[in-house]
A = this chain, B = another copy of it.
Amino acid sequence: MDRDHRTVEQEYEHLKSRLAESGMDVDLDEAKERLKRQRLETPSWGYGDSGTRFYVFKKPGAARNVYEKLQDAAEVHRLTGVTPTVALHIPWDKVDDYTALKRYAEDLGVKIGAINPNLFQDDDYMLGSITHPDPGVRKKAVAHMLECVDIMRTVGSKTLSIWLADGTNYPGQGDFRDRKRWMTECLEEVYQSLDEDMKMLLEYKFFEPGFYHTDLADWGMATITAMKLGPKAKTLVDLGHHPLGTNIQHIVAFLIDEGRLGGFHFNSKKYADDDLTAGSNDPYELFLIFNELARAENEAGGRLDVDYMIDQSHNVKPKIPAMIQTVMNLQRAYAKALLVDRKALARAQQEGDIIGAERVLVDAFNLDVEPLLRMVRAELGVPLDPLKAFAESGYLERVIKERSR
């Protein structure tokens, strides 16, 4: 079943000729180069045990601390070649010496990415963090974010990624507008502390753990707040944080157009939230999101200033393979988006040819892009099938032994 590199090339060439025959005006080699430059950030918390409110299933070998998490992240990067950075969560990943942590990561071949302050795991925050009626609690929350900015300076991170668990469960519990003003004031204080080359991402969430309202409930609230703060503040789109049916790709396009798309948390859901592997529920939707990104990249000379981060709550899949599978899903979606025949699409749109325009997208989506992805991996010098390579690597067996001590 193993494919040698000659096969890889043959299949790549077959795909190229298949595209040529079909009349699609796309550049496979350019797609390949852009795929080689794709960068995805994995989250440290994606390597430790997690669960639902009902139970946390223990996974043998799951990382127990930030060092082990970085090891796992480095392994994913070694196998995929496109995940060179790791997001941290403070205080989950709190250490005494961040300079040493930075070096530890670099020795493993990865860097530290976004810093995520934790504003929800403290009894003080039951009624809110920066929306709490008690100014003392708000101050504590701001201080924690300022501490995170300090950590960013030490570890070389440029992204402060803020998700608020703030919200209420019952009508009357809090005053929407008081809370809004407190939140804005606190964010302004943190914003002022950012260095010139830092950015602040504001994540929104439709619900949970607030079951009546969340203070940043949708992209509109996050974006209007970011507009108040200034150009370094942008919106973070978590794929799981929308009402069912929401056209996420439309929001992405709107944010791009407004210059406010700051980053992604990739995951997927069928019902409620960020529960599943990105691309596992509706891969066509993921493709349509990347379709907007690829189009915008074309205009922007190939690159957007957007953080592509993975954030999903895996409960039953083994952690490292789930992360690798996610990376592969994101590569596949991007690959297909890069093979959309944009001239044909624009032409059909102009002519009002609805079926023709749809078919341009569907034709790209229906392509078997595995030959392209294998060529990308071959040129990146990573295994052609990273999942299989991981299974055969003995890594899991080794850490199970090491981490049970």
Q: Which residues of A contact B (CB under 8 A)?
A: 1, 3, 7, 11, 14, 18, 21-23, 50-55, 57-58, 120-123, 126-127, 133, 165, 169-178, 180-181, 206-209, 211-213, 217-221, 223-224, 243-247, 249-250, 253-254, 256-258, 269-273, 275-277, 280-285, 288, 291-292, 295, 313, 315-318, 321-322, 325, 332, 345-346, 348-350, 352, 354-355, 357-362, 365-370, 387
Contact = CB atoms under 8 A, between A and B. Distances in A.
A117 to B, nearest CB: 14
How many identical subunits does the complex contain? 4
25 contacts: A53-B53, A55-B165, A126-B316, A169-B275, A169-B276, A170-B277, A171-B249, A175-B346, A175-B349, A176-B253, A177-B253, A177-B254, A180-B253, A180-B254, A180-B257, A181-B257, A207-B271, A211-B271, A218-B220, A220-B224, A243-B243, A284-B284, A322-B355, A332-B366, A366-B368
B245 A271 contact: yes
Given A208-B271, A368-B366, A250 B217 contact: yes
Contacts of A346: 175
Top 5 A-B residue pairs of the complex, sorted by shortest distance between their CB atoms: A220-B220, A243-B243, A176-B253, A368-B368, A172-B357
Nearest to A342: B175
Contacts of A284: 171, 281-284
A142 to B, nearest CB: 19
Contact of A171 (B22, B269, B288): B288
A213 to B, nearest CB: 5
Contacts of A313: 53
A209 B54 contact: yes
A99 B157 CA distance: 62
A237 to B, nearest CB: 12
B120 A54 contact: yes
A181 B18 CA distance: 36
A220 B217 contact: no
Contact of A170 (B170, B218, B357): B357
Residue with the highest number of chain B CB atoms closer than 10 Å, among A50, A211, A276, A285: A211
Contacts of A208: 52, 271-272
A332 B54 CA distance: 31
